[in-house]
Amino acid sequence: MTVFDKIYLFIFTYYKVRYKQKANTIALVYTSVLQMSLVFLLGCFFAAFASQLHVDSLSSEKSWFLFVILSIGIYYKNWMGYSGQTRKILNAKFNKIKTPQYNITLLFTLPFIAIGMGLGVYTGLITKGMKSKNHLKGSSGFSRY
């Protein structure tokens, strides 16, 4: 059982009391958004790392397209994995072990924190790129290279 499975089942059991019909959808969307925000954060870190090494292997448009395709794949994987028989098996395993108690407000702020950190890295990458391009120009305005 992975960490995401445990978080999914915690969110599912938390909302099962109030929203019986929508608990699965809420937990599925939350788990997918959390995983997508972590993929976004990793992508921003890899882009910053590649920028520091002056590697231009993937354009911005292609990387956003790749992120959208990965997000659709993550949602589909979670939808297939957390619906039906698999969820019942995970729920049975989850009920046998001692249920971990997570802070629900912390869980709901995790995607926003990951997106904020990713945007911080991404905007730092953009401003650093603009400064380095202006740095290459000499006093006459022509590029040295």
The predicted-structure confidence for 109-144, as pLDDT tens digits, reads as follows 999 999 998 888 877 766 665 555 554 455 455 544
Mean pLDDT along residues 96-100: 69
32 pLDDT higher than 90: yes
Could you tell me which residue, 97 or 76, shows the higher pLDDT?
76
Q: pLDDT by residue (tens digit) across 36-92?
A: 999 999 988 888 887 777 777 777 788 889 999 999 999 999 998 888 777 777 777
31 pLDDT higher than 90: yes
pLDDT at 145: 47
Could you tell me which residue, 8 or 128, shows the higher pLDDT?
8
DSSP track, the chain: --HHHHHHHHHHHHHHTT-TTTHHHHHHHHHHHHHHHHHHHHHHHHHHHHHHTT---S-HHHHHHHHHHHHHHHHHHHHHHSSTHHHHHHHHHHHHSPPPP--HHHHHHHHHHHHHHHHHHHHHHHHHHHHHHHHTB-TTS-B--
pLDDT at 85: 72
pLDDT at 133: 53
Mean pLDDT along residues 14-30: 88
pLDDT at 57: 76
Domain boundaries, the chain: 3-128
pLDDT at 13: 84
